[in-house]
Each structure stands twice: as C-alpha cells, then as structure tokens.
Amino acid sequence: MKHRVGSVEVICGSMFCGKTEELIRRLIRARIAKQAVQVFKPIIDYRFNHAKVTSHSGVDFDAQPVEDSQAILKMLEPETTVVGIDEVQFFDDGIVDVVEQLAEQGLRVIVTGLDTDFRGEPFGCMPELIARSEYVDKLHAICMVCGETASRTQRLVNGKPARYDEPIVVIGAKEMYEARCRAHHEVPRD
C-alpha cells in the first residue's frame, strides 16, 4: 500500500529514553497495516545484534546494517513504503539528502537519533532532520542521579564525567552512559 505523500518522522532524545522501542512500535503497526517495511542501521552500531535494531529493554526488529547513507538507496526494495533508520546521528552528511529523497518518493521515513551529544550540543545531522521533518517526538529518560526527567546523555570514563575534549562518537551502552537531567549533566573542561 503506497502512501499518497511521503513524510519524515524524527524520534529523538537522550540515551535510554525509548527511541528505538518507539521506532519498533511504529514499524510493527506499519506491518499490521500491510505496509512493506525496511529498516537500516549504521554498521558501527554493534552493541546488540548486528542484523537487528534492539532497544535497551531487549525489544528488537530485523534491520540491515549499512556502511553509509548511499547504501540505503542501493538496498531499497521497490515495494518498500516505510523506511526506518535507527541511530541516524552516526551516518555521514549525505543522510539528510537520502531521507529527503525517500520522502519525496512518497515513502514514510522514520528516523531515531540522539538530538545532543554527550556534551549537550546538537549532534550531527539531527538539527537539520528535525527542521525538515513533518513530525518530531522528543522522548525523555529518567535522571540516574535524582530521578527527575532526563534530556541529556552523560558519558562516564572510569565512573567520572567525560571531559569536553573527549571524542564525540564512542559506541557503548549502560557501561559508559547514563541519562541525566540538566542539573546533573556534567562536562568538565580544562
């Protein structure tokens, strides 16, 4: 079943807020509606299962790991009407054009990603995707310090907040990241 008009949906927020779980929920509903679904993820996201997108709570959905944004176009099947892209912030700069091209072809494109990096600064392509999308949902986690609503991702190195000059992309999960509220998010500078 083809869509009359394509669209872009962005699911964003900090780590542990349920982005991938929400993506999977939407993909399952699309399948129930007999829509052809294809899901992609960056090949560098090796945390759980290589050929699945997997939430931190263990919910998963089949996905194709890809090297770069252009691979999505090459692997797109003709019958696909819904495209899911997990961890979109890890893709190259071409991902915005790929997402736009898919939507212009009449596809429903659902992307998830961290809207800010561990420093609390806009992450990669996310600001532009948010601006260009039809729908944006910002999810929140629970601060691991105080239990309030968390909107930030805290990277930890040996149990202490990562310094500002640390690399932006370091793949990990609960062993090195926590959700934090604004008050408890720390990024020491020299």
What confidence tens digit (pLDDT) does each residue in 4-25 have?
A: 789 999 999 999 999 999 999 9
Whether 58 maps to a domain, the answer reads: yes
pLDDT band at 27 (very low <50, low <70, confident <90, very high): very high
Q: Identify the pLDDT of residue 1.
A: 57
Q: Identify the pLDDT of residue 2.
A: 61
Helix boundaries (H) for 13-161 = 19-32, 69-75, 95-104, 126-132
Whether 170 maps to a domain, the answer reads: no
**75 pLDDT more than 90:** yes
Whether 122 maps to a domain, the answer reads: yes
Number of structural domains in the chain: 1
Whether 171 maps to a domain, the answer reads: no
For residue range 31-49, list pLDDT tens digits in order.
999 999 999 999 987 666 6
The CATH code of the domain that includes 66 is 3.40.50.300
| C-alpha dist (Å) from residue 93 to 17, 47, 68, 97, 124 | 25, 23, 9, 8, 8
Whether 131 maps to a domain, the answer reads: yes
Q: Identify the pLDDT of residue 58.
A: 74
Q: Identify the pLDDT of residue 66.
A: 96
Q: Identify the pLDDT of residue 49.
A: 65
Centroid of chain to Cα 69: 14
With tokens 């999960």, the residue in question is 173
Q: Identify the pLDDT of residue 171.
A: 78
**Rounded to whole angstroms, how far apart are CA atoms 169 and 187?**
15
Mean per-residue pLDDT over the chain, rounded: 93
Whether 175 maps to a domain, the answer reads: no
Whether 174 maps to a domain, the answer reads: no
Residues taking part in catalysis: 87
Q: Identify the pLDDT of residue 6.
A: 96
**51 pLDDT more than 90:** no
| Mean predicted confidence (pLDDT) in 83-90 | 96
Whether 137 maps to a domain, the answer reads: yes
Q: Which range of residues forms the domain containing residue 28?
A: 7-141
Contacts of 110 (CB under 8 A, 6+ apart): 9, 11, 23, 26, 27, 82, 83, 84, 85
